[in-house]
Amino acid sequence: MLLRVFALVLMLAPGAALAQQVAFGGLRADTSAPVEITADSLAVNQEDGTAVFSGNVLIVQQDMRLQAANVRVEYGDDHSQIKQLHASGGVTLVSASDSAEARDAVYEVATGQIVMTGDVLLTQGSNVMAGQKLSVDLKTGTGQMDGRVRTILQPGGN
Helix (H) or strand (E) holding 4: helix 2-12
Contact by Cβ (8 Å): 57, 71: yes
Instruction: Give the separation between CA 35 and CA 11, rounded to whole angstroms.
Output: 36
Could you read off the pLDDT tens digit of each residue along the chain, which spans 158 residues?
333 333 333 333 333 344 555 555 555 667 678 889 999 999 998 888 789 999 999 999 888 899 999 999 998 877 778 889 999 999 999 987 788 999 999 999 888 899 999 999 999 888 899 999 999 888 887 889 999 899 887 776 54
pTM of the model: 0.78
Tell me, what's the pLDDT at 18? 46
